[in-house]
Structure 1
Amino acid sequence: MTDWLSKLPEAVHEYLGDHRLDEVECIISDMPGIARGKAVPASKFAKQEYFHLPDSIFYQTITGEWGEAAGDDGFIERDMILKPDMETASAAPWTGDWTLQVIHDAYDRKGKPIEFAPRNILKRVVELYRKQGWEPVVAPEMEFYLVARNLDPAKSIEPMMGRSGRPAAARQAYSMTAVDEFGPVIDDIYDFAEAQGFEIDGITQEGGAGQLEINLRHGDPVKLADEVFYFKRLIREAAIRHNCFATFMAKPIADEPGSAMHIHHSVMDIETGENIFSGPQGGETDAFYHFIGGMQKYLPPAIAVLAPYVNSYRRYVRDHAAPINLNWGRDNRTTGIRVPLSGPQSRRVENRLAGMDCNPYLGIAASLACGYLGLMEEHRAGPSFKGDAYEDSENDLPRVMGEALEIFDEATALHEVLGPEFARVYSIVKRSEYEEFLQVISPWEREHLLLNV
């Protein structure tokens, strides 16, 4: 037991100090990004090399129903073997005892990675880059809302009450006073993040009422996806402590901006350590334009992964802080693909289309897959866009989940990168979820159709 504890990350040792570890939460991300698993006494965890969960956790919709994705053998709920990645061991500082979380990877009984487990899919895409001598680097930005407690699904979501006793105000982007309104919640977010060993690059107020953004430092895609996975949980726990909810819905409040997970990408040459987007004299390379070209070509089918729910498409509204196009531009936030101001070594490409409601493993994997296909197929980006891209054209993106799934199902090249078995399972589960939604009668329908048609 002592030897096992000695190998844990430094942040864990700092968190535990002289305390005795009580419990370990063995967790894995399901398709929506919910933590599934079980909690075990620390003494038992020290003795186990793996544990089991049925593969059916990946066939569940967000409502808890099931997609018929089990394959030829039928719905037999075959056990997977879940093995811990001890580098992910992290505190659960909101618990009443001394608890750790450990992310696990899923394998079949022959030791082969489960092809539709989200973390395995991201690992698959990263490995494709490495086989080409490239190291992908990402930096996610997380937008979310702090809202008043809402126990009635029929009731509209409202901003949380701030420290001053007034509801959080909208249209206060970058306001430090607005950030101060959430001070106690933010303090707990910082404390939880520090206990878990995470480095926050900054917290800012966004344009929505109660909307915040957390920026994470750039790094390895799998490690950053792990952090976003963990962050969603710790932010929710910090909010609950202060009688409010944290929500990562893409569009929780009708007249407010949606929440995105902007993903910054760069690619390093493993041998030289140089950014392949920049040449010897600091200019933009063919690889830079090919990466953008791949995004322009493959983002439409990838939208089904980057915008995974019916609510996701409410975020893509003209002139409402979410791009609706596939244009790219330098330092232009109206384009779907943005090249931020930077020096040659830190030249990067920002995908602004992903919603914060996406599974971080799948969202980052899909975004990287688009750039990878651009590099491999040498797609050339169109000309950079100058001016307001909202005025350029109609919405270039799918408008509803059903349309997005149709485009996704036809994208065989994208399937080969993400994995054909994942594509099959994902499509079935999401179509089941969409069918569930279509059976719901909305308040709008009752108000306007009940007595008028």
Structure 2
Amino acid sequence: MSLGHIRTFRVAASDLNGQMRGKRLPRSAFDKLADGTTRMPLSVLNVDIWGADIKNSPLVFETGDADGVMLPTERGPVPMPWLDTPSALVPMEMFYDNGAPFPGDPRHALRDVLARYARNGWTVRAGIEMEFYLIDDSGAMLQPPQNPQSGRPLQGNAILSLRQLDAFDGFISDVYEACEDMEIPAQSTISEAGLGQFEIDLDHREALRAADDAWLFKALIKGMARKHGMAGTFMAKPLADEAGSGMHVHFSVMDRDGRNIFDNGGPEGTPMLDQAVAGCLEALPGSTLVFAPHGPSYDRFVPGSHAPTGAAWAYENRTAALRIPGGAPAARRIEHRVAGGDNNPYLALAAILGAALTGMEDGMIAPPPITGNAYEMDLPQLKADWLSAIEAFETDPMIAKIFEPALIHNLTLTKRQEMERLDEIPSQMHWKTYLESV
């Protein structure tokens, strides 16, 4: 986009929780962004969910909390249509002064995984299904939003209801217009199972760009919801009696000639697909922390609630953690259904794609695909609680093949610090921490 008449703009990078950290700059600073004159403390990307420094962080305090260099990503400036004043956001990445990527920047973690694919002559295309809730947060506890047409709170579930989509037409239409302006490839929208829950699919594109889309889309939904008098949230389970929100990732791998390496011309897929599935299954316990990064994330993992808890795969079966959708063989892909909506998209895609690549590089063999209801089977399980997930992420050998040791150490420090503080907050007040921060 052209900054045109915009007088100031924002620069921001993602911290480990996916929150935007940055600053507001005058228009005159825009032409200097690529020169490395924009600096912020390294610690700003390695803070907890409340913005507090991580105690004893080796990524920060061994350097004396020096400044890092912020450089713009390939995305360039994007508009912020939810604001009343015309504004632009420039997504950034953090580097050391010597030009080395700062390992506390989660976008670099995904970039590193995709560089491994590139060394094999492969590129990854990913599409992401984003589930979220619209919420009335005006009272002491979260409630479903009011129907904009009737002014009354929503009553009854409305899965795939066109009536409910029409009721929120003003909000949804503004989201679509904003996605077009921000070059986010929004596709279908559905009314989901929960009261006030929706899903918008983001079309397939190169994986790093897809993660950027998801990160920006979260900011868009939260901002646009406020503009319409509601809260928008990607909390894993904001309403206790309603369905949880997930982020489903569809991905395929293309060779140098643009051929899908998962396509064998039939419905079963190639041996490479089987190996990628095997890697993803092997990594599920250790990567639980990435897919469920917060204390309330684990409220979503209830058997039978459309949130997979067992490590299994299947063809056209939504109870499995990994689903191989049907359709044309040229579009053969893996759908990874585990992540909650409250994840950091850069870390989630790094964990998923890193696991798949490890499975292919190591020639891993997947168990047979399941048939039937995965929730009723005796399967290897994801970690069931936050502490177990932290410990597994810290020690799992598959995680060590995907992420830099410094990021592993810092994320576990971050989550232990958050867990300690969250224990001091009454559980009925946890939503005030997470409603719009995730």
Cα separation, 2, equivalents of 1:399 and 1:324: 8
- What do the CA deviations read for 1:127-165 (whole angstroms, capped 9, x no partner)? 011111111111111000001134x6xx33110001222
Q: Does the CA-based 8 Å contact 1:80-1:106 persist in structure 2?
A: yes
Q: With the length of structure 1 as denominator, give the TM-score of the two structures.
A: 0.90
Q: Does the CA-based 8 Å contact 1:86-1:102 persist in structure 2?
A: no
Give the secondary structure class of the aligned counterpart of 2:143: coil
Q: Which residue of 1 aligns with 2:436?
A: none
Give the secondary structure class of the aligned counterpart of 1:112: coil
Give the secondary structure class of the aligned counterpart of 2:204: coil
Q: Which residue of 2 aligns with 1:3?
A: none
Residues 1:282 and 1:141: Cα distance change in structure 2 (over 3 Å) = closer
Runs of 5+ in structure 1 lacking a partner?
1-11, 445-453
- What do the CA deviations read for 1:298-345 (whole angstroms, capped 9, x no partner)? 111011111100111110101112111111111111111111112111
Q: Which residue of 2 aligns with 1:259?
A: 245
Q: Which residue of 1 aligns with 2:375?
A: 390
Q: Does the CA-based 8 Å contact 1:149-1:243 persist in structure 2?
A: no
Mapping 1:30-109, distance limit 5 Å:
30-48=15-33, 49-50=35-36, 51-71=38-58, 73-74=61-62, 76-109=64-97
Q: Does the CA-based 8 Å contact 2:282-2:398 persist in structure 1?
A: no
Q: Which residue of 2 aligns with 1:354?
A: 339
2:113 is the alignment partner of 1:128: no
Q: Percent identity?
A: 32
2:401 is the alignment partner of 1:416: yes
Give the secondary structure class of the aligned counterpart of 1:274: coil
Q: Does the CA-based 8 Å contact 1:169-1:210 persist in structure 2?
A: no
The counterpart of 1:207, out of the listed 190, 193, 206, is 193
Which structure has the larger Rg?
A: 1
Comparing 78-87 with 253-262, which one deviates more in the overlay? 78-87
Give the secondary structure class of the aligned counterpart of 2:89: strand
Q: Does the CA-based 8 Å contact 2:58-2:406 persist in structure 1?
A: no
Q: Does the CA-based 8 Å contact 2:289-2:386 persist in structure 1?
A: yes
- C-alpha RMSD of the superposition: 1.9
Residues 1:90 and 1:36: Cα distance change in structure 2 (over 3 Å) = same
Q: With the length of structure 2 as denominator, give the TM-score of the two structures.
A: 0.93
Mapping 1:45-444, distance limit 5 Å:
45-48=30-33, 49-50=35-36, 51-71=38-58, 73-74=61-62, 76-150=64-138, 155-163=140-148, 164-270=150-256, 272-279=257-264, 284-393=269-378, 396-442=381-427
Cα separation, 2, equivalents of 1:283 and 1:432: 45
Runs of 5+ in structure 2 lacking a partner?
430-438
Cα separation, 1, equivalents of 2:285 and 2:336: 12
AA paired with 2:111? K
Give the secondary structure class of the aligned counterpart of 2:184: coil
Give the secondary structure class of the aligned counterpart of 2:304: coil
Comparing 279-288 with 29-38, which one deviates more in the overlay? 279-288
Could you list the runs of 4 or more consecutive aligned residues of structure 1 that deviate by over 6 angstroms after TM superposition? Answer: none
Cα separation, 2, equivalents of 1:47 and 1:75: 26
Q: Does the CA-based 8 Å contact 1:168-1:178 persist in structure 2?
A: no
Cα separation, 2, equivalents of 1:182 and 1:174: 13
- What do the CA deviations read for 1:380-439 (whole angstroms, capped 9, x no partner)? 111111111111126711111100111111113422322111111111111111121223
| Number of residue pairs matched by the alignment | 425
Q: How far did residue 112 of structure 1 move?
A: 0.2
Cα separation, 2, equivalents of 1:36 and 1:257: 30
